[in-house]
Structure 1
């Protein structure tokens, strides 16, 4: 019971890296899941860039490691984009950006320092009207990611996928709400079969299964636990509202004309993300959610999970307020909520983290920037 708790930096897009580290120390967590999105990317939601990826070299890597060691923190990096679908030029930029992050992680010590690279896979909807569209996406994933994962393995870096379906990534006028391939356990197991390398795994976020009426403990039981490198602490409260009664919880709310919907008395999605009847929450902050956290954590402890717990704050009453005080309160409440489940009881100090080793100073490496065309030529 010595798992570290980190915070995901997406909740603080305007803070500098130094300010972010200070905030982490004040909250009392052991590390940061750093978002390092493309500055010229197309996403407008949950975007932050907390590490400069341009001109990154061994000297800069040592400076970053020293800064984190001074604060007693550890970290990972990631960016979450569509790498197999959408505009062709944008997806290639996203692939090249992922390669930049893998290179950065390698310069920072990679697996030796526990610095993983987080990503989405995305989804290609060009095949939606064809039979076998899902498997075509799997094969496209294999084509694109096989050289990427091979490159990561060569550099001593592990890539981790998050299981968010990204149901709001397309207009509510579209029926299909699967916009990120690894959003189901079946997809992830098929992905590992297609690319057996140990250099990729997952950040498992149980909240995405909860609103799909899947028990996260059942998912863990059928998962290869060796693939789960970190777990997101993010909660979901399922709603029993008029929209869920009208539309169910399988296909998501559909968009029709407002005139027709109003005449029929049918609720419509309020925006692209309002496709299913649930509320994102921070565990332990502002009420109960629709998950048995004690049962979930107990199972992880029984299976000797040694990875990171990362708090992803998307709570409507915390990050959703855009109030820095409420955001920090959400993180602090979640840390207090989780600590008796994962940390030992220390005399006089309550449930306390036992401590962690400093990051190793990386060796100098002259590692050239690679692009996807270099790996597939």
Structure 2
């Protein structure tokens, strides 16, 4: 198992700058964010130019990784592949293919994304639509030696009423997406707040867990008594502010990392564990983000053999 980090939390830095800092801090791998710089999300983490990635960029990236003793565990482009706008959906699929092509050029095994959701359709209708779209994407990736990994994030902020915006949040949905040839980028934080014990999901699904993310979560005392499970309804000006929980860096929340990593080892996981930093306390500027990543490293490194 290697300990890595997702670069999306440092959108203002170049990959060269991130690689130098990550290696000096003790990280072994990078999950590299490859969004286009179009403002399509709340950050523009474009750490590799996948839409125009040629031999020169390939050589330069390999040299950078070799210089710092790092590997790339996956390329990250987490977007809504079921976007209700046909034009936007086509843009997303095109960029996803660019990411797959870049992964193939760099011998990166995985590209991470979301199933997503059209909020105007039922869950059943969305699943039928995904069944039409994803097999071709899986085949495109497979022909290039790349696997598509789906993160189990709920993405409730994508739904106008705070319901799941990414139909990959539960083992029931994992089993469905595995039937399409998709793999899992397993993150325990999302499971924790929807009432699923993350440790208990490892043994049944470990052979489908191709990549794992390390993000913690803090349940805020008493707040659920006001808002209920689905979170703020009236005062939710920020679609991501549910009001009763928040993401934290590993070691500052309620995930039992000793149990998580021990169970991953017990059941044969040998992939990458990648820190995803979305902690509001250790965020806001580059210095604090790096401090948060250092806390995560201090928490997880002693638990990983090697």
**If the length of structure 1 is used for normalisation, what is the TM-score?**
0.77
1:304 is matched with which residue?
268
Task: Identify unmatched segments of 5+ residues in structure 1.
Answer: 128-132, 256-267, 344-352, 354-377
Q: Deviations over 1:275-301 (max 9, x none)?
A: 2510211012xx4x2222211211111
SS of 1:161's equivalent in the other structure is strand
Equivalent position of 1:261 in the other structure: none
The one of 228, 247, 254 aligned to 1:248: 228
Provide the C-alpha distance between the structure 2 equivalents of 1:247 and 1:67, rounded to a whole number of angstroms.
48
Structure 2 counterpart of 1:324, from 283, 286, 294 = 286
The 8 Å contact of residues 177 and 252 in structure 1, kept in 2 or not, is answered as no
Higher relative contact order (CA 8 A, sep 6+): 1
Structure 2 unaligned regions, length at least 5: none
**Which of 41, 49, 61 is equivalent to 2:58?**
61
Alpha-carbon distance in structure 1 between the residues aligned to 2:52 and 2:43 = 24
Q: Does residue 1:340 correspond to 2:302, yes or no?
A: yes
C-alpha distance after superposition, 1:30-82 (max 9, x if no partner): 11111000222522x24300011232123421221122111110012121111
Q: Which residue of 2 aligns with 1:182?
A: 168
Q: Would the aligned equivalents of 2:153 and 2:168 in 1 still touch at CA under 8 Å?
A: yes
Rounded to whole Å, the distance in 1 between the matches of 2:221 and 2:261 is 26
CA–CA separation in structure 1 for the residues paired with 2:208 and 2:44? 26
2:250 to 280, 283, 289: 283
- With normalisation by structure 2, the TM-score equals 0.94
Secondary structure in structure 1 of the residue aligned to 2:270: coil
Per-residue CA deviation, residues 296-327 of structure 1 (Å, 9 max, x unaligned), is 211111012101010111111112xx232221
Of residues 274, 280, 294, the one that matches 2:258 is 294
What is the rounded CA distance, in whole Å, between the counterparts of 1:232 and 1:47 in structure 2?
A: 20
Cα deviation digits, residues 59-118 of structure 1 (max 9, x gap): 4212211221111100121211111123221111001100111111111124xxxx3111
Tell me which residue corresponds to 1:263.
Answer: none
Q: Take 1:40 and 1:247, find their aligned partners in 2: how far apart are those partners? A: 34
- Within 1, Cα distance between the matches of 2:268 and 2:203? 13
How many residues end up aligned between the 2 structures?
305
Q: Deviations for 1:240-292, whole angstroms, at most 9, x for unmatched residues?
A: 334x112321x33223xxxxxxxxxxxx33421112510211012xx4x2222
Offset at residue 21 of structure 1 (A): 0.9
Specify the alignment match of 1:147 in structure 2.
136
Where 1:80 maps in the other structure, the secondary structure is: strand
Alpha-carbon displacement from aligned partner over 1:310-358 (angstroms, at most 9, x marks no partner)? 0111111112xx2322211211121121122112xxxxxxxxx4xxxxx
**8 Å CA contact 1:164, 1:182 repeated in 2:** yes
Residue 192 of structure 1, CA deviation? 1.4
Identify the residue that residue 111 of structure 2 maps to in structure 1.
Answer: 117
* Aligned CA-pair RMSD: 1.6
